[in-house]
Amino acid sequence: MTHDEYVDYIRTRFSDLFDPTNTEDSWQYLITIGPGWWALLTDFCEQLEGVLKHHDEVGRWYIRQVKEKMGELRIYTRPAPFERPDVDGFMEWIDDIDPPEPSPAAEMIGIVKQQVIGRAAHTCEQCGDPGEMRVLGGWYWTCCDRHFQEWQGRKASQ
Ligand SMILES: [Zn+2]
């Protein structure tokens, strides 16, 4: 499965979890993690869907971005825009306040998010094998021994 195919799968299978006003451009950058973490994200989406159904909040929370940062999995979820009409101007500013307001659903979202982030910290982002955070020349990556060796090889030949 290519990255585009995976994104299409998530977008179709979990359409309730994403803002329907997302543009094709925003979808280009919405999910940028490596294939080794795709299964973790799929799990997260299933759990998030369950939490939202349980709290009757389907359509009130959206996944805004899924990316790797400093070697860690980052998942940003936001209340749907109609809940916070001023949110667009503050997207950057509130990046790390997540979720912004306490509620039973927000609390559960935070818990399932931390669980999946914890699993990602021990999962190679490239292949999904057991791995850990590595640092090379100031860059961070969570990967297995094999992909760490490949990475070192690529760095050495640059
Ligand atoms: Zn690997």
Q: pLDDT tens, 77-117? A: 988 865 444 445 444 444 444 445 678 898 999 999 999 99
The predicted structure's pLDDT at residue 57: 92
For residue 141, how far is its CA from the centre of ligand 1 (angstroms)?
11
pTM, two decimals, is 0.86
For residue 30, how far is its CA from the centre of ligand 1 (angstroms)?
23
**Selected residue with higher pLDDT from 88 and 1:** 1
For residue 155, how far is its CA from the centre of ligand 1 (angstroms)?
16
For residue 132, how far is its CA from the centre of ligand 1 (angstroms)?
10
For residue 144, how far is its CA from the centre of ligand 1 (angstroms)?
4
Question: pLDDT digit string (tens) for 37-61?
Answer: 999 999 999 999 999 999 999 999 9
For residue 126, how far is its CA from the centre of ligand 1 (angstroms)?
5
For residue 25, how far is its CA from the centre of ligand 1 (angstroms)?
30
For residue 124, how far is its CA from the centre of ligand 1 (angstroms)?
5
Q: What's the 3-state SS for the chain?
A: CCHHHHHHHHHHHCHHHCCCCCCHHHHHHHECCCHHHHHHHHHHHHHHHHHHHHCCCCCCEEEEEEEEECCEEEEEEEECHHHCCCHHHHCCCCCCCCCCCCCHHHHHHHHHHHHHHHHHCCECCCCCCECEEEEECCEEEEECHHHHHHHHHHHHCC
Every domain of the chain and the residues it spans: 3-121, 126-158
For residue 31, how far is its CA from the centre of ligand 1 (angstroms)?
19
